[in-house]
Structure 1
């Protein structure tokens, strides 16, 4: 998967994403679970949209992402804010301080390629949380992968940017491959440049994520869906997990 060119279009394509809902959700749950610390790691931070929002809400934010291009966008966006950014894979996170809060937002966990990567990520998150620290993440549901993505085509046709997005079943259970072709207007030549991206996502049953969290040493606090604080239903699209690091004695 490449984000080299996609990184510079990402914010425009995601301009309707409910970023404020993620911030509201996190703040509400931190109050609920009486978390006083505000040292937050935004893991797989992408272009830093949430990192910046959390920083403006008074959090001390660190951002980590695998893509140097995404981080370049994030650095520019965060000008004037004290947000350190690091290029690192979440499945091999190392060398950071311990945080009060770690979040993997915007279904970023679904980009991991294997069961082992997910388990390693949970272990890395555990080792970078303070005792009783809180871990947030959200993922696509199996319903969304299988019914709303696979064998679907999505299109956008604007004057300066268009795309064709085809989704196909991946080789592994509950996985999808997104084939995207972008057409971007070059303002100088008034011609369209084309580039292609292949993105892979995979999800797992709620029970599997729960088991991996417990194996990593977490106490599972709650599971909900679609920002509504209700238990996941058959047609829920986005599943939210909140877990707490059990103190190690």
Structure 2
């Protein structure tokens, strides 16, 4: 049996199981180190873009930040509300939030910035992050360079749930031109003689680190690229195809 659905909405209850290997605490600790090294806005108001089930929100709130989250999935936000009830949650697309100088720190982990498609929406997301930051605030997110996504990159996670096994597959592919980065997702649930499969396809935005750097600088950001390593702050050497972006809004 196959179902075509938005997996993030239909299977939000399973999302944390599939992301069990994600080191949310490590990513948040990294964000705090970057914030302490780069920010000079004077506060700790925090927004997580594409916050999902609120894993980052919970950790950052425990680290002393006033946490807010944004996601376009009501099902995901319901999970986030249960995990972090004190957080303000916004239901909207990445390119649609409208805040002005509210936040000292904005993050967007798990390559979620690429969900902002087409390229005009991607640019709007960057612009809205600029507008939402206080002077001296920091925007941290991770990206993949389109040149590193020319081949299919797949990740498979298997989770046992009672008598059933859940298999989650995700992978992106870039054809080598244009701004379309395809992400294909599927979940298969097998057990008790039955099998169900859900499929989903997301069109994401492809960009290069060079083009992204230019976009951010044109907005006014001071940009630092770091290696995709949450254990340390290492300047990007220019060889890998993914990086962590630290975009700082200068104090005028």
By the TM > 0.5 criterion, same fold? yes
Give TM-score scaled by structure 2 length. Answer: 0.83
Q: Deviations for 1:45-100, whole angstroms, at most 9, x for unmatched residues? A: 11111011100111111111111111111111224xx1111101111111566111
Higher mean displacement: 95-104 or 35-44: 95-104
Q: How far apart are the structure 1 equivalents of 2:151 and 2:179?
A: 10
Higher mean displacement: 169-178 or 45-54: 169-178
Q: Deviations for 1:145-167, whole angstroms, at most 9, x for unmatched residues? A: 22452xx5847474431245565
Unaligned 5+ runs, structure 2: none
Q: How far apart are the structure 2 equivalents of 1:134 and 1:181?
A: 34
Q: How far apart are the structure 1 equivalents of 2:10 and 2:176?
A: 26
Secondary structure of the residue aligned to 2:61 is: helix
Secondary structure of the residue aligned to 2:184 is: strand
Which residue pairs with 1:24 in the alignment?
Answer: 29
Displacement of 1:116 in angstroms is 0.8
Q: How far apart are the structure 1 equivalents of 2:158 and 2:183?
A: 15
Q: How far apart are the structure 1 equivalents of 2:13 and 2:149?
A: 25
Q: How far apart are the structure 2 equivalents of 1:171 and 1:196?
A: 24
Q: How far apart are the structure 1 equivalents of 2:12 and 2:176?
A: 26
Taking the TM superposition and a 5 Å limit, the aligned residue runs for 1:3-14 are 3-14=8-19
CA pair 179-43 structure 1, distance change in 2 beyond 3 A: closer
Secondary structure of the residue aligned to 2:20 is: coil
1:183 aligns with 2:188: yes
Q: How far apart are the structure 1 equivalents of 2:244 and 2:59?
A: 19
Displacement of 1:184 in angstroms is 2.8
Secondary structure of the residue aligned to 1:45 is: coil
Displacement of 1:207 in angstroms is 1.2
CA contact (8 A) 2:54 2:69 kept: yes
1:55 aligns with 2:58: no
| Matched residue count | 240
Please, which of 198, 202, 222 is the counterpart of residue 195 of structure 1? 198
Q: How far apart are the structure 2 equivalents of 1:142 and 1:50?
A: 26
1:209 aligns with 2:212: yes
Q: How far apart are the structure 2 equivalents of 1:10 and 1:53?
A: 17
Q: How far apart are the structure 2 equivalents of 1:146 and 1:166?
A: 12
Secondary structure of the residue aligned to 1:11 is: helix
CA contact (8 A) 1:153 1:164 kept: yes
1:114 aligns with 2:118: yes
Q: How far apart are the structure 2 equivalents of 1:118 and 1:230?
A: 24
CA contact (8 A) 1:156 1:163 kept: yes
CA contact (8 A) 2:169 2:186 kept: yes
Displacement of 1:177 in angstroms is 2.4
Which residue pairs with 2:47 in the alignment?
Answer: 41
Which residue pairs with 2:135 in the alignment?
Answer: 131
CA contact (8 A) 1:145 1:174 kept: no
| Root mean square deviation of aligned Cα | 2.7
Q: How far apart are the structure 2 equivalents of 1:109 and 1:147?
A: 20
